[in-house]
Chain A
Amino acid sequence: MKNSIAERVSDFLKDYPPFNKLTNKTLLKIAIEVTITYLEKGDTIFKKDDVCHDSFYVVRDGAINLYYSNEDVKEITNIHDTGDLFGLRPLINKEPYKLTATANEESIVYGIPIEVFQSLTDKNNKVQKYLITAFASNAFDPYTEEEAGKIFVDYLPSTSQDIVNFQTANYTKSPITCTTTSTLQAAAKKMSDHKIGCIVVVDNEKKPVGIITNSDIKNKIATGLFPIETPVTNIMSSPVMTGKKGLTIAHGQLQMIKHSIGHLCITKDGTVNSKLVGVLTHHDVLVNLGNNPTVILKEIKRTKRTKKLREARLKGNTLLRSYLEQNIPISHIINVISEINDAVTIRAIELALKKMPTAPPVAFSWLALGSQGRNEQLLFTDQDNALVFEDVPENKYEETQTYFLELAKLVTASLNKIGFEYCEADMMASNPEWCKSLTEWKNQFKSWILKPDEKAVLLSSIFFDYNRVYGNKELVDDLTDTIYTTLAETDIFYKFLARDATKSPSPLGFFKQFLVEKNGEQKELFNIKNRALMPLIDAARVLILSKQIRGVNNTSERFEKLAELEPNNKELHESCSYAFKALSKFKTKQGLLRNNSGKFIDLETLTKEEKLKLRRCFKPIQEIQDILKIRFDLKNFI
């Protein structure tokens, strides 16, 4: 008999994982068995230690809180919204619930009977994996952390999990402190009394000046470096890294990754110059997250084999996929993936250095170029890199270069194995042309800038976006200084760059149709990289170089910086930044879909909405090109 309700239930479920992996027929069979439950705010679905229900749940409307309850302490671990699953424990084992689930607001949930569900999805591997992963990522139990890492290999998107990243971090609100005049012994006593792993040293105004952790005591006291009566100021780490009240978990986590620290002091205004209000520890972050970039980065840093690096980088890809599906802001995705890419490269270099018969004869730096240099690389793309080494006497030059070429070959080979294709144009450090001493590099850039030609402009799009990934910082700073001084001497180079940035016209044809490739293998496909992304990247580069701004490599950040510097063009720059992010996201999604770089898009596969979205992004391209034409006076420049 017809059951309209079941049809509607199944209509709802089909949009959410894991139900989106089932056929309509199976789904309808499941839908018939569903129990629809209405919940008032505060109603409990199950309590900690309750016997397992024979259903698991999907939120239809409203939101469900899951929390640990310890006597009177309630610690919310997750809030589930429409489409999220919860109460998955009975799928895994028949132990009582570990969490309590209550309605955060008036809600309607669907109960899916496990027996029916399992008998219908028994042979569907994807569904099983999804559920196990969803379960693991919901159980924020530090003891399953290792296991969660393993499950992550098969990580399928969970809509509930990574949202947590953007919730406000739950930090310790009443941190234990000691004053600058305390002795270490007193501080250690306090730590052991409170059973904590760190103590913040504060001044008279309660501003944090330093931090002492267990490892400080282990490394500096237990080794006999300092006597136990030493003032805390002697052994504390200072200054402390700080964050603002209300910072997100994702942000806190990124800070920790960046500075390789485990503790973030939360202060009133987010700087060391205001009162300490809390401490966010690495552990707090981990408790908030099941699977996370930190775990991947840790793995990368520890690995001893290239094969493992590849696995780790692949996990980055699945992470990327799930981030995209969950609409995490693209700028954050880029940050995380860039960190992973950089970490992979660093580790590959470290491993290569170990394989070399001797240590490097002089200091050197490994530069990432192109998209990796701009920190915009989301998918596996070509590797573009270069190497700069310290100046050596002329008679030593060849010998030194040979050493670094050998090293570069090892690195590029393992990067290739990891999944970064060799650069077709051979723009890699293993090419003698791009593995040079500092002085040689300076001369190279000078000639590009002062005597620009087509080739120079072509290369500039890659070489002017370099970023030091590994090695000596001074070498790179020195090179950058020279480049900016040379740039100040001439205008002609900017003209070349600007002309290049305006050479590919708006991606829309006269009749507002997309301009597609006319020949070759990619015929009738839309080249989103060349036609939409490159014009934005090129425009951002020439504008930021002409403003002599350093250290901002990322295209969207460049536009944001430009918006700040040119208030009259603020809106345009902001929309360029937005367009760039939107387009990169689009390209990345396409790439994931087709398992390639996502450069070419088959317009046939796009929905009307997607096409409209793309079109909207093209508008600022034309406007920014107009600006370039005027600013660099391109009208009379041939």
Chain B
Amino acid sequence: MIFNWFRKNKKEYPDFWIDYLDSFKAPKKDKVDTTRFVAFDTETTGFDKKNDRILSIGAVSFVGKSIQVKESLELYLEQEVFNPESVKIHGIMKKGSLEKVTELEAIKLFLAYIKDAVLIAHHAYFDKTMVNEMLLRHGLGKLKNEFVDTGYLFNKSKHIIYRESLKEHYTLDDLCKELNVPKVDRHTANGDALITAIIFLKILSRLDKRKSLEWDYLLKA
């Protein structure tokens, strides 16, 4: 199946993928405060995009500045690949008591959740790659969503005089500390997603103060 994916025409894609693509046909909203954002985070077995797998996906969505707890997404994936090392960090066991879904089921639920929202993640490139690899394994295309990286955005929010002292790489913990976000739920996927969302909102308010905010300013060039 994988070798001939480029020859596939649209009809051969599963319905949920088509629905996902269709959601992008709606006219684009260009204002930040009416745009639907989804902050998400993945816990993985490791950092190798080919061999490692996603263990869990957490996501929260919001329009404006309010997040509905009920409408968050929290998925735990059944595993074939398993790295005992990473259990120490996120605590997800191969056979834990958590209710788990297959990878394909997770894709369906995730796509139905994000739709055409602007995605926010911390060091978004990694999460984006991991999700795209997962989609690829199932013969689907890459994510179509716009991405905002909170690490990048944070650097932008810093005043020019502090730019020199900026680090190349801020961890989520660094940002929590800098922005005074309580780290109550680090290392569960949707806890980190919530933290990412709040970090995003906090940075946004800082950027907005200087009134330099335009839509594409948020996006990584």
Contact = CB atoms under 8 A, between A and B. Distances in A.
A12 B69 CA distance: 14
Interface in B49-101: 58, 60, 65-70, 72, 74, 76, 98-99
Contacts of A4: 58, 74, 185, 188-191
Interface stretch (B9-17, B20-28, B142-150, B197-205): B197-205
Interface residues on B, range: 20 to 34
Nearest to A34: B69
Contacts of A6: 69-70, 72
Contact of B72 (A3, A37, A61): A3
A35 interface: yes
A208 to B, nearest CB: 46
Contacts of A225: none
20 contacts: A1-B74, A2-B74, A3-B69, A3-B72, A4-B58, A4-B74, A4-B185, A4-B189, A4-B191, A5-B74, A6-B70, A32-B70, A38-B66, A38-B67, A39-B65, A61-B182, A106-B180, A106-B205, A108-B198, A111-B66
A8 B185 contact: yes
B160 interface: no
B153 interface: no
A378 B189 CA distance: 50
Contacts of B70: 3, 6, 32-33
B55 to A, nearest CB: 13
* Top 3 A-B pairs, shortest CB-CB distance: A40-B205, A38-B201, A37-B66
B66 A36 contact: yes
Interface residues of A, number: 25
Interface of B: 58, 60, 65-70, 72, 74, 76, 98-99, 180, 182, 184-185, 188-191, 194, 198, 201-202, 205, 208
Contacts of B74: 1-5
A9 interface: yes
Nearest to B205: A40
Interface in A266-294: none
A36 B202 contact: no
B10 to A, nearest CB: 32
A5 B188 CA distance: 9
A31 interface: yes
A450 B198 CA distance: 75
A11 B69 CA distance: 14
Given A36-B67, A37-B66, A2 B202 contact: no
Contacts of B65: 37-39, 43
Contacts of A37: 65-67
Nearest to B208: A40
Interface string A111-130: 10000000000000000000
Given A32-B70, A33-B70, A38-B65, A5 B205 contact: no
